[in-house]
């Protein structure tokens, strides 16, 4: 039975913060809104971008204008202002060689996620592209991480070798890898184990809530190896019952 890795993109595979920051600020400036400090901006990757604007008080026409500006900025090339985190291509290659089923689970829009993964020659490692609906799609409903995870699990049912129970993906055979609390919360909703990488955009408080954390690619490989061997299996959402895979 093959095991599944659900993997976030921004802050986990790709350091996309510079480009996201650029476009986010353009959206604020387009409506004359105050640009917050770096302590706030650093945490905008993760949740749907519209939620970040709402958190800063934007609504109505200002919210629509800010989002339209953000999307336009990204499509105009700001998305290229990013890079792959060290060791990620090697990890993905190893996991595919070892027989894992790989799927993204990202709040990026499908086209944006595919574009950046193809740009860095990472797209081919994934069996399934799990992502949010396009930001400008009318009636868009798949935005939040738990919605994306639910959608991705549905796609994974059709992947050859996927671990199924009663026709659904067995959550005990799935590990969510991300960098923010949204990854933890989304995984917990479906009874899935989760690990956070500390090189992304999460806070120390978010890391402290994670059952497993990894400071670099080598440690993340160790977390996945333990998951594969069944040595870190536990009820999702009960971090006190496990040992953290971190140093210091």
CB 88 within 8 A of CB 13: yes
| Residue after which a domain boundary falls, among 36, 52, 80 | 80
At 137 the pLDDT is 62
Whether 76 and 140 map to the same domain: the answer is: no
Whether 133 and 212 map to the same domain: the answer is: yes
CB 61 within 8 A of CB 96: no
CB 162 within 8 A of CB 156: yes
Least reliable range by pLDDT among 26-30, 52-56, 127-131, 143-147 = 143-147
Whether 76 and 108 map to the same domain: the answer is: no
Whether 44 and 100 map to the same domain: the answer is: no
| Residue after which a domain boundary falls, among 53, 80, 107 | 80
Q: How many domains does the chain have?
A: 2
pLDDT tens digits, 55-101: 999 999 999 999 999 999 999 999 999 999 999 999 999 999 999 99
CB 193 within 8 A of CB 241: no
* Confidence band for 116, pLDDT divided at 50, 70 and 90: very high
What lies within 8 Å, CB to CB, of 73 at 6+ separation is 22, 23, 26, 27
- Can you say whether the dihedral through the CA atoms of 213, 214, 219, 221 is positive or negative? positive
Whether 194 and 223 map to the same domain: the answer is: yes
Residue 121 structure tokens: 């020659």
Rounded Cα gap, residues 25 and 33, in angstroms: 9
Q: Judging by DSSP bridges, how do beta strands 14-15 and 83-84 pair with one another?
A: antiparallel
Whether 150 and 171 map to the same domain: the answer is: yes
**What are the backbone dihedrals phi and psi of residue 42, each rounded to the nearest 5 degrees, phi first?**
-60, -20
Is pLDDT above 80 for 237?
no
In a domain, 123, yes or no: yes
The pTM score is 0.87
In a domain, 190, yes or no: yes
CATH for 41? 1.10.150.240
How many Cα neighbours within 13 Å face the side chain of 64? Answer: 5
Its domain, for residue 205, covers: 4-15+83-241
Whether 57 and 154 map to the same domain: the answer is: no
Nearest to 16 by CA among 109, 81, 76, 93: 81
DSSP state of 247: -
Is pLDDT above 50 for 148?
yes
What lies within 8 Å, CB to CB, of 244 at 6+ separation is 210, 211, 212, 213
At 238 the pLDDT is 35
At 246 the pLDDT is 34
| Residue after which a domain boundary falls, among 80, 102, 121 | 80
CB 202 within 8 A of CB 185: no
In a domain, 248, yes or no: no
* Confidence band for 235, pLDDT divided at 50, 70 and 90: very low
């Amino acid at each position: 039975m093959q095991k599944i890795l659900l993997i976030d993109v921004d802050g986990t595979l790709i350091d996309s913060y510079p480009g996201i920051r650029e476009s986010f600020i353009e959206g604020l400036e387009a409506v004359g809104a105050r640009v917050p400090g770096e302590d706030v901006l650093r945490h905008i990757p993760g949740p749907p971008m519209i939620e970040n604007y709402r958190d800063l008080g934007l609504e109505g026409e200002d919210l629509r204008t800010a989002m339209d500006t953000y999307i336009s900025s990204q499509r105009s090339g700001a998305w290229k202002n990013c890079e792959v985190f060290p060791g990620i291509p090697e990890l993905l290659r190893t996991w595919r060689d070892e027989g894992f089923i790989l799927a993204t689970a990202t709040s990026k829009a499908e086209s944006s996620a595919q574009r950046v993964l193809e740009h860095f020659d990472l797209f081919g490692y994934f069996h399934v592209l799990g992502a949010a609906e396009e930001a400008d799609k009318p009636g868009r409903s798949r935005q939040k991480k738990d919605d994306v995870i639910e959608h991705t699990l549905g796609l994974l049912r059709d992947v050859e070798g996927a671990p199924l129970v009663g026709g659904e993906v067995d959550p005990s055979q799935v590990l969510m890898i991300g960098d923010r609390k949204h990854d933890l919360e989304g995984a917990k909703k479906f009874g899935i184990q989760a690990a956070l990488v500390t090189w992304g955009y999460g806070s120390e408080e978010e890391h402290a809530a994670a059952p497993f954390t990894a400071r670099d690619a080598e440690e993340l490989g160790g977390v996945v190896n333990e998951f594969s061997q069944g040595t870190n299996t536990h009820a999702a959402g009960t971090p006190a019952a496990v040992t953290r895979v971190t140093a210091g």
